[in-house]
Chains A and B, each alone.
Chain A
Amino acid sequence: MLGALLYLRLTSLRNRVIAAVLRLRQPKYVAGAAAGAAYFYFFFFRRVAAPGGAAGSLPRGMGPMALSPMFGAVLMLAFMVGHWLFAWLSREENPGLRFTEADICFLFPAPMTRRMLIQVNLLGSQFSILISALFLTLISGRWGFLAGNMVTHAIGWWVILSTVNLQYTAAPLTVAFLSTRGLRAPLRRTAGVAALALFLAATAFAVARHARPAGPADLAGPSQTLAYAVGLVDVGPMHWVLVVLKVVFGPFLAPDWRSFFLALAPALLVLAAHYLWVVNMGVSFEDGSIARAQRTSELLSARREGRRIFGRAPARARSEVFRLPDGAPAEIAFLWKNLSSTWSGFRLRTLLACAGAILVGCHWLSLEEFGHPILRALGWGASILGGYTLLIGPQYARQDLRSDLSHVDLLKSYPLPGWRIVLGELLAPVAILGSILWLETMIVALTFSELHLSWAASGVGATVLACFALVAPFVCAIQLLMPNAGVLLFPAWIQPPQGRTAGIDLLGQRLIFTFGQLLATLLALVPAALAAGILIFATQWIVGMAAAVAIATAAVLAILAGELWIGVWWLGERFEKFER
């Protein structure tokens, strides 16, 4: 059986590499691969390979003592608690193990016991664990504060990742095991929350009992503060949990070979105990694994088609975003359809509630002394988020042609000109991004007085914000034209053939595309920016700055609307000629 699995993994890996190399015969993949490789080099490997490497980015004074096994153990505990909570609080009685649909087709009916299937699952994950361990060794090898050598680090990472993987496998199996013994979801969730609360309360009690106030030595530097903070929680029931986890980090942090071997033995014992726990659970996971594989497959195909970036398909029918009136224009029907497929919380009442909360919250904070720095932070935060929403929002709000690419034949059968379909498809992401931008603008408007901006005095700031709120949806729409043009002009870049979702060439293609999109948007904004600048300069002497901004905004809106119309019309023409 091991031979079959090794054959599967190694042959797949070899074929994958060959396929990637053969793809490079096409210029679009060469360009993508070059851009992807450049990205990895400049943003990752160059920093790692540079003298001092990543160590230079760490706070000064961060010594090996600060990165003690205890600190690593706390991090690992946080990850595992998070994962266990996710499995524990889920409604599922049998979450299942991670198998592909091909695994289920070939391995589940094969002459294998349940225990062998678990071993196959664990063995299969060893490939990604080994690659991850090598990758992390490359990074941690440049940490100047870390003792040991590349081999001890690699084995250390392997021990850590393998233990985490066994925990990852154990969580759904334990949930299924308890479910078969009567601890079903409602009781399990209540008991889980109660047990966690009890554990945290006991830890808090122990911390309060044993805590000593921080002295000057504890606050002398980041490493000392970190060591003090981590030491605080290493008491009471938490101590016993951390003892085991510290053992797992031992080999990675060993300073020399002797310490490494001394640390490796107990770490391997913990690993072996985890392994025995997982393979001897003897619980059925097949039903859950089949359902999980189907969900994963659906999610992957949705991502390949650009329908969803995160999350699952809605399991149940949801309330309508708004009531679609009889005889509504087709564009509104597209808006209604595409908004219905987005996050279930995206409703008018949610937006109004958010707006109300912002209004009340900001007003309350402005009345309190402590609230002013918070308002300032909120104002700057909302400004930065607004910038991000404008720049990268169109990459994530994909409820347009990108999500409908798989239905293009159906769309083309509708008795509508292409431009109306394109316009209808654009409305949902514009509505989503526009709403988010308006909320962010609202926060900025309500915190304006705290930001002490000289140019924003005497009503100009309010006018600028109001004008920005008007212009922002148009800018979003212009930005959205680019990825939708990409769907029609370069469909293979938007929806890769043969269902691939990852690869250095695909990463590079996306980088090229994003860069092209930003460049095209900037070019589209140049005429509007020039007109605004000229108008403000020419009229502010006569009508004042606030009115000049308003006049310029009207011109900007007219220019953007014109560009948008040309873009939509042109995309409509392309859509009518589009063939998959």
Chain B
Amino acid sequence: MIEVRSLAKFYGSFAAVTDLSFTVRPGEVLGLVGPNGAGKTTTLRCIAGIIPPSAGTVSIAGHDLGADPIGAKRALAFFPDEPRLYEYLTVRQHLAFVARLYGVAGHEAIAQPLLEEFEIADKAGSLPGELSRGMKQKLVIACGLLHSPQVMFFDEPLTGLDPLGIRRMKDSIVRRAREGATIVLSSHLLHLLEEVCTHVLILKKGSKIADGTLAEVVSTFSRGELGVSLEEIFIRATGGSEN
């Protein structure tokens, strides 16, 4: 479960995120959408404990991120949009390193199925320089899943994946939500929201425009019209521009 209350993030006088509150329950997938510069990545980084919020509280699986960062971080995994790997660690060694970071005992038994699920088992001995971008992305995801997190944050999870990889990623997210994980993902791809997300939160200039289930958000902005596409809903909600 994720509980965010009055979250704000300021850079000097610039407000990247203001007064943001929402809750995501186990089994739910929240899609964070908004135009460029809306504050999606900043929000994800704040609630994943990567950067400190300027105000507000975040609770991850019952642990207050400010008061008990280690407990909270032990329960979460953050998947960045760009896979950044250690240049001189092989695929398998990345997993071994992450296992040590999170204190995962007997990690090899967990790592092997993950490598197979993401189809990088045959690259287990390769360095990142020998992997395609999609493979690197898969490795980052396998590393994040190694400690069986209850809460997951995906920043643009489909970037760089081929069609088959996209299909597998969507299935993986849905399966983990069904197994009880709490998931927040940010994406520009509206079809991903339709296929994967149970809830949507629309951000613009750091503020919440709307949130709720997909049906609730659609009904809020469809003005009673039937068959309005999600793209049209997004344009209506955000005013069709970044500003």
Contacts and interface: CB of A to CB of B under 8 A. Distances in A.
A105 interface: yes
Interface stretch (B80-88, B113-121, B184-192): B80-88
B52 A105 contact: no
B219 to A, nearest CB: 35
Contact of B102 (A101, A110, A284): A110
Contacts of B83: 105
Given A106-B143, A109-B50, A113-B70, A7 B100 contact: yes
Given A7-B97, A290-B51, A111 B89 contact: no
Contacts of A8: 86, 89, 97
A1 B101 CA distance: 6
Interface stretch (A12-20, A139-147, A264-272): A12-20
B140 interface: yes
A400 interface: no
Contacts of A284: 51-52
Interface string A105-142: 11111111110000000000000000000000000000
Contact of B74 (A102, A106, A107, A111): A111
Contact of B88 (A4, A19, A114, A286): A19
Contact of B80 (A12, A105, A113): A105
Interface string B44-85: 010011111000000000000000011101101110101111
B129 A106 contact: no
Contacts of B96: 7
Interface in A1-54: 1, 3-4, 7-8, 11-13, 15-16, 19
A113 B74 CA distance: 11
Mostly helix, strand, loop or mixed at chain B's interface?
Answer: mixed
A562 to B, nearest CB: 44
Nearest to A12: B88
A100 B84 CA distance: 9
A102 B86 contact: yes
Contact of B84 (A16, A104, A114): A104
A307 to B, nearest CB: 20
Contacts of B88: 11-13, 15-16, 19
B100 to A, nearest CB: 4
B101 A107 contact: yes
A120 to B, nearest CB: 10
A573 interface: no
Contact of A3 (B48, B74, B100, B102): B100
Q: Which of A101, A102, A106 has the most CB of B within 10 A?
A: A106
A109 B76 contact: yes
A106 B12 contact: no
A13 B49 CA distance: 30
Contacts of B98: 106
A102 to B, nearest CB: 5
Interface string A289-307: 0100000000000000000
A93 interface: yes
Contacts, number: 93
Contact of A105 (B74, B76, B84, B89): B84
Interface residues of B, number: 37
A360 to B, nearest CB: 43
Given A12-B89, A105-B84, A109-B49, A93 B12 contact: yes
Q: Which of A11, A100, A105 has the most CB of B within 10 A?
A: A105
A93 B12 CA distance: 8
A286 B129 CA distance: 27
A413 interface: no
Contact of B89 (A11, A107, A497): A11
A109 B82 CA distance: 15
B214 interface: no
B84 A111 contact: no
A110 B71 CA distance: 10
A290 to B, nearest CB: 7
Contacts of A320: none
A498 interface: yes
Nearest to B76: A109
A11 B52 CA distance: 31
Interface string B86-127: 111110010011101110000000000000000000000001
A12 B86 contact: yes
B97 A111 contact: no
Nearest to A179: B12
Nearest to A16: B88
B84 A102 contact: yes
Contacts of A286: 50-52
A109 B77 contact: yes
A175 to B, nearest CB: 14
Contacts of B100: 3-4, 7
A533 interface: no
B83 to A, nearest CB: 8
A329 interface: no
B133 to A, nearest CB: 14
Contacts of B50: 104, 108-109, 286, 290
A56 interface: no
14 contacts: A8-B97, A11-B93, A12-B87, A15-B93, A102-B86, A102-B87, A108-B49, A109-B49, A111-B102, A113-B70, A284-B51, A286-B50, A286-B52, A499-B87
Interface of A: 1, 3-4, 7-8, 11-13, 15-16, 19, 93, 100-102, 104-114, 284, 286-287, 290, 497-499
Interface of B: 11-12, 45, 48-52, 69-71, 73-74, 76-78, 80, 82-90, 93, 96-98, 100-102, 127, 129, 140, 143
Given A12-B88, A106-B86, A111-B71, 4 more contacts: A11-B93, A109-B76, A110-B73, A284-B52
